[in-house]
Amino acid sequence: MKTINKATLSVAAMFLAAAISFAEFQSEVLWLDFDMKNIPEPKERSEAGFYDYFFKGQLMEGTKQQLDVPRWIRRAADNPKEASNVNALDEVPNSSWYTNRHHLRRLSKDELQQGPNRGNTPDFSRVIVTKAKPAGVTPGMMVKDAHGDSYLIKFDGFSYPNQRSGAEVISTKIMYAAGYNVPENYISYIDRKSLNIDSDVEITDENTRKKRQLTNDDIDVMLRRVAAMPDGRYRVLASKIIKGKAKGPFTQVGLRTDDPNDVIPHEHRRELRALRVISSWINNWDLKEGQSLDLYVEEDGRKFLRHYLIDFGASLGAAVDPTEYFHGHEYGFDLTSITKEIFSLGIHRSGNEKRALIISPEVGSLTAAEFHPGKWKPSFPSVMFSNLTDLDAFWAARVILSFREEDLRGIVETAEYSLPTTNNYVVRTLMERRRMVANYWLGKVDALSDFSLERAGEGVVLKFRDLILDEGFVLADAARYTYQVRRGSYTSEKKLVRTQEIRMDADSFGVAGENGGPVEVRIWAHRRASNPEPVKVYFEWSPGQDKLTIRRISRG
Amino acid sequence: MSDLYRLLLLIFLFGTLSQDVWAQEAPPDEPQQTEEQAQTERIVEDRPPLYSIKRGGHPLTWLEVAFKPVLRSAEGGPIRNLASRKSTSEKTSGIRFGFDGAGSGSGFGPEVTFFHKNFLGRNVDVELPLLYTYKRYEVYQLNAHMPVASQRFYGALSFDLGAGYRSRPQDDFYGFGNDSSVDNETQFRTVAREMSAGLSAKLSDYSTAGIHGVYSRVGVTAPTSGVSAQDYFDSSSTPGLQGGVTLRSLVFSIGRDNQQREKNAFRGGADRLEVSFNDGAGGEFQYWRYRLTSQHFFPLSSDARKVIAVRALLETNQTTSGHSIPFFNMPALGSGQTLRGFQTSRFRDKTALALSLEYRYRIWPMIDVGLFVDEGQVAPQLGDLAMNGFHTGYGVRLFVWPKENSPITFDYGRSGEMWRFYVNFKPRF
C-alpha cells in the first residue's frame, strides 16, 4: 500500500469532520426504536428454571463474563461498554420492551393510579375456576370472571393479609410508570360462594401424584391456608391474562434467535441493565428470567413479540411471607458470602443468618435500614445486571427521581391497605430509599440533566438541572460549573457560573458564528476532587433562528 | 485505486455510519403515537457482527448444552419426579431407591429396598434392602420387626428376625498391631451368611435395648484382585484366615439417642453399648466383645450454625481360655467412620480406640463445613493403650443437603501416611 502523506491526511480529517457535522443534524431524533415489524410466530420458550437462572445464568454466563479479556481491559481503562439502545440525548427510545412515561412526560395522579389497567375491572360476582394449584407454597388459581375475562388469582399469606397483594399492585404501577410493560393487576374481593369449578379442571393429587378432578373440598382446603377478611371474603391479587400468545420468558443474556426484531443483545439494553437500580428501590428482588414473559401480539396489523415483566409479589418487603433478610443483601447462592463464611470459620455473619424486622403484617419487612443501593442484589446474578454502567444507573436514577412524594402516595392508595399508617410508612420508606438510590448513583456522574435552550436576543440561555443540588445532597451555594463553547475551530475560554443556566450572548458567539456548524457547550460540575469528564451539549445556532433544539448530549 | 479514491470512500463510509448514531433532537412533549405509525427506523439495524458465532463457539456454551438435558430433567422431568416423590416414610408399602456403600472401602452403588410396614395386616414391619456397589460389594438383607402383643409393651417391644448375605471381594489387611507396616498391604475376600432373632424394647423416648441371637457363617477366600492375605500371612498367627468361621453369638445392646437436628445434629448425642458372647463351631473361637460408641454435639451459637461434634469408639475383645478371635471380627481403624486419612482397615487388633473432634459451621443454608481431627490406636488389650500410641488424621468435610434430611458428606482426610477422600450417602456423624 502506498504511503499517504500528511497533507492528504489533513484533507481527509477535514472532510471527515465536515461529514460528521453534516450528518449530525440531518435526520429526526430517534425516539422510537421500531422493533415491531411483522414476524413469523416464534416457538414457545420453555419456562425458565434452575438451569436458566443458576447453572446457565450464574455459573456459565458469569464465568464467560469473567473470562472476557476485552471487558476487563475496558473496565481497567474506565471505559465500559455502554448500552446499545441509547439515543443521542442519553435516553432509551420506545420499543417493544419499553415506553417512556413518567420520566419524560409526567403522568397525572389518575394515570399513575390507573397504571396498566385498561377496560373492565374484574367482576367476581360469578367466578369459574379453570385451573388451580391448591398445594405448594403459593396456592393460586386461574379463573374467568363474569365478563369472561381470565385472571390469575393470588392470595395473601394466612398471617399477612393485604401484604403481598398490596406490594404487587404498588410495584406493578411503579414499574408501569417507569416505562416497562407489565400486566394489569387488580386488588379484588372474592366470596367463596361465587366460586364454581369448570367441568374438566384437573389437579395432581398430593398423595397419589396422579391427576384427578378438582373438587370443592380442594378449594376449601386451599382457602383455609390463605388470609380471609373478617366478613369471610378473600382479598386477592387478580392479574389479568395479557392478550397475545405466551412465548416464554426472555433470556437475560443473548438474543432470541427466532425473533428477527431482536437485534440488541439483552445484556446491552439499558432498560434491562437499569432494572437492577429501579428494582433495588422497590426491593423487587425476584428478578429471575421466569419473572418475564414474551407475548406474540398483534397490533396495527403487525404480529411481533412484546416483552413483559411479570410477578412483583416479591417486592416491598412482601412475599408469601415477609421478605427474608438476605433478599436484596445476598444472591440465592452467594459465592462471596460463602467464601467469607469458609475462611472466617463461620464467624462472618452472612445475610442468610439474619432475621428481617417485620414492620407490620401489612407492610412485611420493607425498610430503608441497611439498604445499600450499590450492594443491593437480586435473587441471582445476571450478566445483564453486572453490565450496568454509571450512565445506565444515572438514567435509572432520573427515572426514579421523576416519582415525587405525591405520586407515590397516589399509587400506594391503590393498594387499599387497611390502615392509613401503612400508607404513610410505605410512602415514607419509598421516599427514603429513593433518596438513597439517588445519592449513591448521582455521585458517580455529573448529575446534570433536563437541558433546555431559550433564546435571549441574539444569544442563547442553556438551562439545566443539577440533580445532586436539587435533591439537597449538597448545599446550594456549592454550585459551581465551568463551561466552554466550541464551534468549528473556535474554542472559547473556560468560564465559571454559579447558577444552573449559562448565558451565551451574540458577542460570545461572534467568532464562533462565523465558522458555522453545531455549537458545543462543555460543562464541568465542580463537586469532586478532580473534575470529571464534561457533559457536552450540542445544538444549532444562527442569528435569527427561531427554534433552538438540542441535538446531542454526550457524557463521559 | 488512487489515494484520493481511497479517501473519498473512507469519508463516505464514515459519514454514513456516523449518521444514525448522531442524528438526534430534543425529546417530544407528548407520546409519539402518530409518529410510531410512520417511523420504522431502528437504533441498531443488525445484530452485532459475529455475536452468535462468538457465543455459540464458546467452550462453556458446549458445557451448557451438555448438561442441559440432565438439569432440565432435574427441574421438571424424570429426575425431578424421582426426587420429589412422596416420602416412603409416609407409605405403608413400596420400594425405596437410594444410594449407599457397604462400609469402608466398598465404594457405593444403588440400593433398592422393598418394604411393608403392615405385613399380613399384623403391623409387621418388613424390609428387604439390596445393595450392589461399583466395587462389587454386595449386601442383601431381610429384616422383620413384629410388635409383641403385650398390653404393657405393645408398640415398644418387638420380636426381630433377620437374615443376610454379604460379599466383600477385597478388604484390606495389614497384619495386627498399632505399628503394622503399610508395606504389608494385602487383601482378602469374605462371604457371610447370617440369621438372627431377638427382642428389641423401647425403654423411653430416647432409650432402647435389645437381646439377639445370631448365627453366622463367614467364608474367607482369596480376593478378586490384589495380594492375597492367605499367601502372605500365616494362618496360625491370623485366626480364621484359611477357610472361615461359623459363629453363634448372643448380643445384648442398650442405647440412648437424644440428638436434636436442624439438618445436622446440633445438641444432645447418641450412645450405644453392645456386649456379645461369641462361640465358634469347632471349638477354636470363643470370646467376649465389648463395644461402646458415642457421639455428642454442642452448639456454639443459638442458631445452631456452629457446632462442636465429638465421637468416640472403644472396642475390646477378650478370649476365653485357649480360644481365639477371627481376624476379620477384630476392630479395625482407618475409615470414614473411625480414623480418616489412612488406608481402609489400616490398623487392626483386639482392642481399638478412636476419637474424633469436629468443628462444624454453616456456610450456606444447604452446606455445612467441618474441620476435624481424628485420633486412633489399636492394641492387644485395653491396658495396652497408651497416650503416645495415637495415630492422627485431620482434614475438612463438606455436608451437602440435596434433599432435606438426606445429607451427603465429602471428607478429605490427611495423615502422615497419605490422604484419602470419602463420600458418604448416609452419614451418621
**What are A34-61's pLDDT values in tens digits?**
999 999 999 999 877 888 889 999 999 9
pLDDT for position A14: 46
Identify the CATH number of the domain defined by range A448-555: 2.60.40.10
Q: Pick A51's closest partner by Cβ from B22, B47, B72.
A: B72
Instruction: Calculate the alpha carbon distances from A379 to A60, A288, A298, A352, B21 in Å.
Output: 16, 7, 33, 12, 35
A341 touching B (Cβ < 8 Å): yes
The pLDDT-based confidence of B79 (bands split at 50, 70, 90) is confident
Mean pLDDT of A300-313: 95
Quote the pLDDT of residue B25: 40
pLDDT confidence of residue B86: 63
Q: What is the DSSP letter of B369?
A: E
Q: What's the pLDDT band for A22 if we cut at 50, 70, 90?
A: very low
Mean pLDDT of A241-249: 94
Contact at CB, B71 and A353, closer than 8 angstroms: no
Average pLDDT for A222-241: 93
The yes-or-no verdict on residue B8 having pLDDT over 70 is no
Band of residue B38 on the pLDDT scale cut at 50, 70, 90: low
A3–chain B Cβ distance below 8 A for any pair? no
Q: With beta carbons under 8 A apart, name residues in chain B contacting A8.
A: 3-4, 7
Segment A106-117 mean pLDDT: 96
Q: Report, as an integer, the average pLDDT of B353-373.
A: 96
Mean pLDDT lowest for which of A62-66, A304-308, A416-420, B15-19? Answer: B15-19
Query: Under a CB-based contact definition with an 8 Å cutoff, are residues A483 and A494 in contact?
Result: yes
Mutation site for B-interface testing, chosen from A21, A30, A340, A453 by largest number of B Cβ within 10 Å: A30
Residue B30, pLDDT score: 46
Q: Show me where the domains of chain A are located.
A: 1-26, 50-109+250-442, 111-245, 448-555
CB contact under 8 A, A255 and B67: no
- Please answer yes or no on whether B18 and A15 come within 8 Å at the CB atom: no
pLDDT surpasses 50 at A179 = yes
Inspect the interface and report whether the beta carbons of A300 and B371 lie closer than 8 Å.
Answer: no
Band (pLDDT 50/70/90 cuts) for residue B112 is very high
> Do B365 and A352 count as a contact with CB atoms less than 8 A apart?
yes
* Residues of A in Cβ contact (< 8 Å) with B35: 31-32
What digits encode the pLDDT tens for the residues A383-439?
A: 999 999 999 999 999 999 999 999 999 999 999 999 999 999 999 999 999 999 999
With a cut of 0.90, is the ipTM above it?
no
CB within 8 Å: B23 and A25: yes
Chain B CA closest to residue A340: B363
pLDDT at position A488: 79
**Tens digit of each residue's pLDDT (9 = 90 or more) over B145-165:** 998 865 565 568 899 999 999
Q: Which of residues 176-235 of A touch B (CB under 8 A)?
A: 207, 209
Question: Helices A420-442 and A390-401 meet at what angle, rounded to 10?
Answer: 150
Q: Is A224 exposed, middle or buried (0-12, 13-18, 19+ CB in 10 A)?
A: exposed
Is residue A26 within 8 angstroms of chain B, CB to CB?
yes
For residue A81, what pLDDT is reported?
A: 94
Question: Mean pLDDT across the stretch A461-472?
Answer: 92
Which among B29, B37, B45 has CB closest to A300? B37
Q: What is the pLDDT of residue A548?
A: 83
- The dihedral sign for the CA sequence A219, A222, A228, A232: positive
The band of B22, judged by pLDDT with boundaries at 50, 70 and 90, is very low
β-bridge partners, A483: A495, A523
Å from A131 to nearest chain B CA? 19
Q: What is the mean pLDDT of residues B230-248?
A: 90
Percent of chain A surpassing pLDDT 90:
73
Mean pLDDT of A453-481: 87
Distance from CA of A468 to the nearest CA of B (A): 22
Kindly tell me if the per-residue pLDDT of B33 is higher than 50: no
Q: Which residue of B has its CA nearest to A341?
A: B363
Highest average pLDDT, of A211-215, A350-354, B230-234, B289-293, comes from B289-293
Confidence grade of residue B406 (pLDDT, cut at 50, 70, 90): confident
- CA A316, CA B230: separation in Å to the nearest integer? 73
Is A63's CB within 8 Å of B29's CB? no
**Whether the predicted pLDDT of B236 surpasses 60:** yes
How many Å apart are CA A434 and CA A473, to the nearest integer? 13
Of A528, A526, A523, whose CA–CA distance to A556 is shortest?
A523
Q: Check residue B7 and give its pLDDT.
A: 52
- A·B CB contacts under 8 A: 187
Contact state of A50 with B75 under an 8 Å Cβ cutoff: yes
Q: Which residues of A touch B31 (CB under 8 A)?
A: 94, 99-100, 105
- Measured between CA atoms, the residue of chain A closest to residue B22 is A24
Positive/negative CA dihedral, A296, A44, A383, B57? negative
Of A32, A33, A209, the CB nearest to B86: A209
What mean pLDDT is reported for chain A?
A: 89
**A199 Cβ contact list (under 8 Å, min separation 6):** none
Question: Is the pLDDT confidence value at B34 over 90?
Answer: no
Higher pLDDT, A500 or A517: A500
Which residues of chain A have a CB within 8 Å of the CB of B5?
none
Query: In this complex, do B60 and A33 lie within 8 Å of one another by their Cβ atoms?
Result: no
* Mean pLDDT within B368-397: 96
